Amino acid sequence: MQANPVNSKPIRRLVIVGGGTAGWLTAAMLSAHLPRDACRITLIESAELGVIGVGESTIPPFLGLLRKLGINEKAFIEQTDGCYKLGIRFRHWGASNHEYFHPFGALGQSLDQHDFYQCWLRANQLGDSSALMAHSPCAALAEAGRFYSPATGGGIGASYALHMDATMSAQYFRRYACERGVERIEGKVVSASRQDNGHIKAVQLDNGIAVSGDFFIDCTGFAARLIEGELGVGYRDWSAILPCDRSVSVKTEAVRPYKPFTEASASKMGWLWRIPLKNSTGFGHVYSSRHSSDADAKSVLFRHLDAKRITDPQFIVFKPGHRRVFWQHNCLSVGLAAGFIEPLESTSIHLIARGIEYFLRYFPTADCDPVLSSEYNRRMQADFEEIRDFVLLHYCTSQRRDSPFWRDCASKALPESLAQRIALFKAQGVLRAGVDDLFRATSWYSIFEGMGIRPRQYHPRVDDIAEPRLLDALSTHRHAIRALVASATAVDDVSV
Ligand SMILES: Cc1cc2nc3c(=O)[nH]c(=O)nc-3n(C[C@H](O)[C@H](O)[C@H](O)COP(=O)(O)OP(=O)(O)OC[C@H]3O[C@@H](n4cnc5c(N)ncnc54)[C@H](O)[C@@H]3O)c2cc1C
């Protein structure tokens, strides 16, 4: 007979280093889950070092996160300059003057358990010439500049996320965390002391204070002060795969009516984002330093602005990729300290939340059984690789060859995982499923269709559906979407 399990020493003191979005969101999530009297949470941040302060676009799971934290969505929107987002409009990616939409939410409805996309492919062959996006409630709403009442629109699969001011949202999570007992210490970590087993024992600050802990979370951004500076964990550098390594961003005055979507417009050396907020608009140019000087990238950005600039340009240098391990000994890296993939699909804040959700699932005792960290590392790596592949899909399917940047993108070898996904899709519109898929089929279909790629044939089992029934089902669904759009409100009139 086996003995009853006996837990080793619990984590009683958790130290977060860094007070950007990653630090404060981590503090908020942990303070919501860990009883105050069981685990003391301290966050160390340095006003002198500052935060990145970009990260304005989210994806729908962010709203689920707010709900789990018990945060009132309307209050959050009001206090973060927030606006609704229905998806992303991609411009000039396939070729110049070409555009398409990547919507949130559903794309059609399955019929007799047949995937909608397969039904639509067959309907197309039968003469139904409706566009794929005519079956997306979010694409139709975005086109009309309208927003639905979530109470009525959910029935046909509409969904949304938020645009928000990055600094204001970090402040919101800071208030939330501090109200739940998180202690804040001002100071810069300059060194750390270690236990015999390699675990971090305490961090030393520039003001002479030492902060000890059972577990440390490195949220120090690109500095990666603990995971790299102290523990020497290396980086999987994806510069050879992902083309961009810099950004320049500004804010302009707000433009009305605001567009309920992010715009991502390809340039000759990268791409430009446009993110509407309630009282301003965020613009940025993500580019490749191998193909553009900072000055040229800034000029392209300035030409792209459609309202008066209200901030100075902020340049950021980054290395695409992620930590070789995210969790080493008693130290977890989260946010930019863990890694970064260009923000084309607005995934970084989501990865912060995923990281903390996984951490809570594999929450260790103070000895940190390596089996737990190893599983955590496997899952986070899978998420990073999936996002990398999805972002790369936008580049590798482009027909643009009008600049050295695009010609270089066309000549890059693809990771095996993405090459397989593309081959499978081209054969019969099938998508490779994985346990941890972040992007649903809708997202992959939207990009493939937007970039003009269709499978050679549809799934043969869709022929089981009688032709009139198939065509009728698609037409009825389009009708329901038109009704939803007609009943929706112009975005500027939506009361938050
Ligand atoms: C160009 C760009 C666009 C982006 N757009 C999006 C987007 O649209 N959507 C999205 O989800 N994400 C986006 N992101 C990512 C997003 O900005 C980050 O995920 C988010 O801001 C988290 O950053 P962070 O907290 O990890 O780092 P930072 O904001 O850099 O914060 C680091 C913190 O650590 C502190 N610190 C550093 N060193 C020390 C030290 N030695 N001692 C004590 N404290 C220290 C700093 O003072 C700061 O408080 C974007 C990122 C970039 C670069």
Report yes or no: 125 and 458 within 8 Å, Cβ to Cβ.
yes
Provide CB contacts within 8 A for 371, sequence distance 6+: none
Q: Which mutation among 220, 287, 331 tests ligand 1's pocket best, with the greatest number of atoms within 8 A of CB?
A: 220
**Domain ranges in the chain?**
13-81+164-237+319-387, 105-159+413-489
Answer whether 26 contacts ligand 1 (Cβ < 6 A): no
How much is the pLDDT for 346?
93
Which parts of the chain have pLDDT scores under 50? none
Spatial separation of the C-alpha atoms in residues 52 and 460, rounded to whole Å: 50
Q: Which residues pair with residue 282 across a beta bridge? A: 251, 275
Q: Which mutation among 15, 51, 203 tests ligand 1's pocket best, with the greatest number of atoms within 8 A of CB?
A: 51
Q: Which residues pair with residue 273 across a beta bridge? A: 264, 284
pLDDT digits (tens, 9 = 90+) for 99-115: 999 999 999 999 999 99
Report yes or no: 148 and 481 within 8 Å, Cβ to Cβ.
no
DSSP 140-187: HHHHHTEE--HHHHGGGT---EEE--HHHHHHHHHHHHHHTT-EEEE-
How much is the pLDDT for 495?
65
Answer whether 27 contacts ligand 1 (Cβ < 6 A): no
CA-based Rg of the chain, rounded to a whole angstrom?
24
Q: Which of 59, 55, 259, 85 is nearest to 165 (CA)?
A: 55
pLDDT digits (tens, 9 = 90+) for 262-317: 999 999 999 999 999 999 999 999 999 999 999 999 999 999 999 999 999 999 99
Q: Residue holding tokens 């599983």?
A: 375
Give the Å distance between the CA of 441 and the centre of ligand 1.
30
CATH superfamily entry for domain 13-81+164-237+319-387: FAD/NAD(P)-binding domain (3.50.50.60)
> Is the whole model's pTM more than 0.75, yes or no?
yes
Give the Å distance between the CA of 123 and the centre of ligand 1.
46
Buried b (16+ CB within 10 A) or exposed e, 21-60: bbbbbbbbbbbebbeeeebbbbbbbbeeeebbebbbbbbb
Report residue 390 as tokens: 């999805």
Angle, nearest 10°, between helix axes 370-396 and 404-411? Answer: 120
Cis? peptide before 10, omega within 30° of 0: no
